[in-house]
Structure 1
Amino acid sequence: MNLAILKQLKGSKITAEALRETIASAIENKHLEPGEKLPSTRDMALYLGISRTTVMKSLESLIATGHLMTSPGAGTWVRKTARNGSQSADESNEKQSQATGYPWQERYSHLAANLHAQRIEAIENTDFDEINYGSAPSDMLPVQAWRKSLMHWSRSAENFDFGANSDAFGYLPLRKAIAGYLRRTKQIICKPEQIVIGSGVQSVVSPAFSLLVKPDDAIICENPGFWGAREQFHSLGAAVIPVGIDEHGLIVEQLDEIDRPVQWIYVEPSCQEPSGVMLSEPRRVALIDWCQRHNCAILEDDWDSEFQYDGQAAPSLFSLDKTGSVIYFYSFWRLLYPLVSVSFLVIPEQLIETFQSYKCSWDRQFTLVEHLVLTEMLDKNIIETHMRAMWKSLRKRRQALIFALKKQFKDDVKLASSTSGMHVVVQFKESVPEETILSCAKKAGLSCATTRPYYAHSAKANEFMLR
């Protein structure tokens, strides 16, 4: 859709109803073709100088009237069925097929039924592409070293031992290299057999959730916290209990106020997302103690743990735990996307057989070349050298950004009390429109994304991740 279609609205007070009527008219007059995709709500709001809330209200109304269709992650587009009552042969056949087609909803599993019933707010790609989807800035990627290793292994493809990708947990030399990396950088002592490799974040944590989370299990999540995990728990029928955070991380004292047994705690102790705060060492000890007393397991998401700018990193929950009740998650995606998306779990030994059965049945193969390249980069300490260089660069950027924000905005801006991560969380005065903040950040060359999706409730107005 060309935004110029909305040009007639500019210069007047734009309401959700006026925007709805303009788009509906464009559809009915064939200015917008069936199947044509609409711009993101953010782009439309910026173009018109209105709030995203106004845009979203108008689009929701058009979806309800059948003018538009939407899908999480795919965006919003013009419905293919004509609104004037006329139908093409294909549209008529489609409608007839839908009326007399196979009743697939009767075959839905518990998971599919939950996903169908659950209305998840679509997180538009444009909300996060500004910050490279949360991964490292593209100008910091070790492209040259990655390309050199990739070319080496690609030229040697005819000599590959393709039996090496038969291990369901991933390429064994890579798992050995990861075990060494964890020992050197995280003080985590584990066996390669405990490491379960996958591609991407969801492909690794999903097996853990699917295997170990039961319907109606109570799961504690930080609020704010990673929305992807929270929505997966909801889809499995679990009861998600949001618990607040402060400058010391998850408020462990609030756990005693929960009036039902808790089976899981999902926590980001090294760099809480999006706030960037680190769970203090006393609270780590208290959390481990609480979980042991209440027979509760922990999924430790070690997100963005490499970039601590004030003092030493605290020990991981996995290394503090002595009972085997912690599953540890880590992703090289954070450092190397889009070059690599390898993520992994470190699981207690008593879960190895269960996870092997799952992987053999559902997710056995992996991209061998990617594993070969990452193994070489770990064995040659290229990753750790890259991390140190990134730390120095990000620290300088962070200091410059914080100084500039304080100098320019003074008391009109509130900065999160965090000392880790790739971004700074900033809250502006509520009187400043969100679209103005996004537009000004873009003009200043700053990457900017709202923190709204991270909140289960009580999202803070005008709070953004900046870098």
Structure 2
Amino acid sequence: MLPPSVLAHLNRTLDVPLHLQVYEGLREAILQGTLKPSHRLPSTRAMAQHLGVSRNTVLLAFEQLLLEGYLESRVGDGTYVTHTLPDTSLQKPEVKPEQQGRQPALSRRAQKLLQVQVTQYLSQPEYRAFRSGMPALKDFPFEEWRKLHARHWKTPPVQLLAYGDPRGYLPLREAISEYLNASRGVRCTPDQVLITSGSQQGLELAARLLLDDGDSLWMEDPGYLGARAAFQASGLNVCPIPIDQEGMQVQHGAEHHPHARMVYVTPSHQYPLGITLSLTRRLELLKWARQSGAWILEDDYNSEYRYEGRPLNALQGLDQDGRVIYIGTFSKVLLPAVRLGYLVLPESLIDLFIHARSLVDRMPPGVSQAVLAEFMENGGFERHIRRMRGLYAERQAFFIELAQKHFPEWLQVQPSPAGMHLVSHLAEPFSDVQLVEEASRAGVTVRALSPSYLHSPEQGLLFGYAGYPEDETILAARDLGRAFSRIRISDP
């Protein structure tokens, strides 16, 4: 039986997705003690029929609760409320009579923010195979970086210590502009480059400055959770656009969501599936943006790492109408801890973004920018990329070899011509979120594919291979293979 609170949470007139409403109802029942520890939940089919929703709705709710530790899956035996809540401080305290009826003084924006899933990794170790998006930390040129830092901190010029230009350090913007023009076909001047604290800040700025609460935005389905979180937290209506072998289906978006005011796209290496947006689709997208007056956010997060052929130049280089905002980051090519990214802005938006940047955190750190600028000017940046491109190609081949040796037949990993992770699609009835839990118990980190979808989620796993040396990869592949070989098909 289900507690009444689950049904009470379902309201099809709300903007909140049904799977989040089911999640909230079950979570509240667990925290209040209505659903006791070790209580066995009905199967997803039975619960979906009882609630009058699709099975996928219940699966997504279960998967989120499994990820957060409220539920546990017992192979061959179903899904249970966990013995110990993930954080006992989350349990609702006893409410005194005089406190009844009081509500936390949260804004609507804050309430939306609390409902947004930012990442699948919040409760998992920061550095453990096969976490995706992790560069080869141990192969970073630390000695060269240390010397640059030491020299700049020994006698730093006053302009690096005082309040600086909100756009960022001019020599760094010049180096970025020169690099993008030469390597990515981006057409820009240093004045169009705005330094940010990683790409996430760039996404936040673009969403809040160019769109209003309730506006619609196209996004690839599946797509990047971090971007979706930024858009949903800003009150935007994220419209999922399916992809095929040519990338985002522009015609689908034009037909089903013609009034969207922005498009978020990863054309060089689609996240997470790795597809390249074809030239035909690029031109089609630019034409639609011009006719509709929409903005395009081009996230070129992983363009440096292509192992076969040369990638198409950036979408921004084809833009004749000033509709494309180009987003880049140094987190993947250097270190996540560097926390520097950038926007390349159309000239019409420069003053607006400078003003907003100065209000958010005034300016990026001066000395860190100066170190990166010199690293780019003296050729260290491109040397590092060349080394990592060769290393990651070797690591991908090595990982595939181990996967063929250790992984079950239903876990087929296909090579990719670019990127830092590989995708394995799963056949029904496996739940990728439950497989992630099984991997975690074996001491291995993988990412589930299904949460990246808004509609019709497919089951799959993402394996980051770039950041891990051979000895770690061997042990992790062996442990993961043993864990998955024990799995039996079951209906949660």
Q: TM-score, normalised by structure 2?
A: 0.72
Q: CA deviation at 1:165?
A: 4.3
Note if contact 1:281-1:315 (Cα within 8 Å) is conserved in structure 2.
no
How many Å separate the matches in 2 of 1:255 and 1:211? 23
Whether the 8 Å contact between 1:219 and 1:240 is mirrored in structure 2 is yes
1:209 CA displacement: 1.0
Q: Quote the residue 2:105 is aligned against.
A: 104
**Structure 2 counterpart of 1:298, one-letter code:** I
SS of 2:269's partner is coil
- Return the match for 1:54 from 64, 76, 79: 79
Distance of aligned partners of 1:360 and 1:276 in 2 relative to their CA distance in 1, 3 Å threshold: same
Q: Secondary structure at the match of 1:207?
A: helix
- Is 1:178 the counterpart of 2:176? The answer is yes
The structure 2 residue matched to 1:270, chosen from 257, 263, 268, is 268
After superposition, the C-alpha distances for 1:239-266 in whole angstroms (9 at most, x for unaligned) are: 2110111233212232233153121110
Contact 1:327 1:348 in 2 (8 A): yes
Query: Which residue of 2 is the match for residue 140 of structure 1?
Result: 139
The count of residues paired between Structure 1 and Structure 2 equals 407
Partners in 2 of 1:270 and 1:394 — Cα distance? 17
Contact 2:329–2:341, Cα closer than 8 Å, also in 1: yes
Partner residue in 2 for 1:88: none
Distance 1:148 1:345, change over 3 A: same
* Matching residue of 1:348: 346
Aligned-pair CA distance for 1:146: 1.6
Structure 2 unaligned blocks of 5 or more: 1-28, 40-64, 466-492
* CA deviation map 1:72-107 (0-9, x unaligned): xxxx41138897x7xxxxx98xx96x66989734xx
Shift of 1:368: 1.4
Say if 1:136 and 1:335, in contact at 8 Å, map to a contact too: yes
How far apart are 1:417 and its partner, in Å? 7.1
Q: 2:87 aligns with which of 51, 72, 77?
A: 77
Matched with 1:385 is 383
Contact 2:316–2:324 (8 Å) recurs in 1: yes
Residue 20 of structure 1, CA deviation: 6.4
Deviation, 1:219, is 0.7
Residues 210, 248 of structure 1: alpha-carbon distance in 2 compared, 3 angstrom cutoff: same
Deviation by residue 1:319-352 (Cα, 9 ceiling, x = unmatched): 0101100000000011222441101100001111
Identity, in percent, stands at: 29
Task: Establish whether residue 125 from structure 1 lines up as the match of residue 122 from structure 2.
Answer: yes
Mapping of residues 217-232 of structure 1, within 5 Å? 217-232=215-230
Bigger proportion of residues as helix: 1
2:487 maps to none
Residue by residue over 1:258-301, the C-alpha shift from the partner in whole angstroms, topping out at 9 and shown as x without a partner, is 15312111000111111122112222222222222332220000
**Hey, what's the Cα distance between the residues in 2 that align with 1:330 and 1:213?**
21
Q: Which amino acid aligns with 1:356?
A: I
The alpha-carbon deviation at position 384 of structure 1 amounts to 0.8
User: Which residue does 2:150 correspond to in 1?
Assistant: 151
Alignment match, 1:336 = 334
| Partner of residue 396 from structure 1, selected from 394, 397, 400 | 394
Deviation of 1:210 after TM superposition, in Å, equals 0.6
Query: AA paired with 1:344?
Result: Y
- Which of 297, 301, 311 in structure 1 is aligned with 2:295? 297
State how far apart, in whole Å, the 2-side matches of 1:438 and 1:51 are.
15
Aligned to 1:9: none
Q: Which amino acid aligns with 2:89?
A: R
In structure 2, C-alpha distance between the alignment counterparts of 1:441 and 1:361, rounded to whole Å: 41
Q: TM-score, normalised by structure 1?
A: 0.75
Partner Cα separation in structure 1 for residue 140 and residue 408 of structure 2:
34
Structure 1 unmatched runs, 5+: 1-15, 25-39, 69-75, 86-90
Q: Is the 8 A contact 2:431 2:459 kept in 1?
A: no
RMSD: 3.7
Match of 1:201 in 2: 199
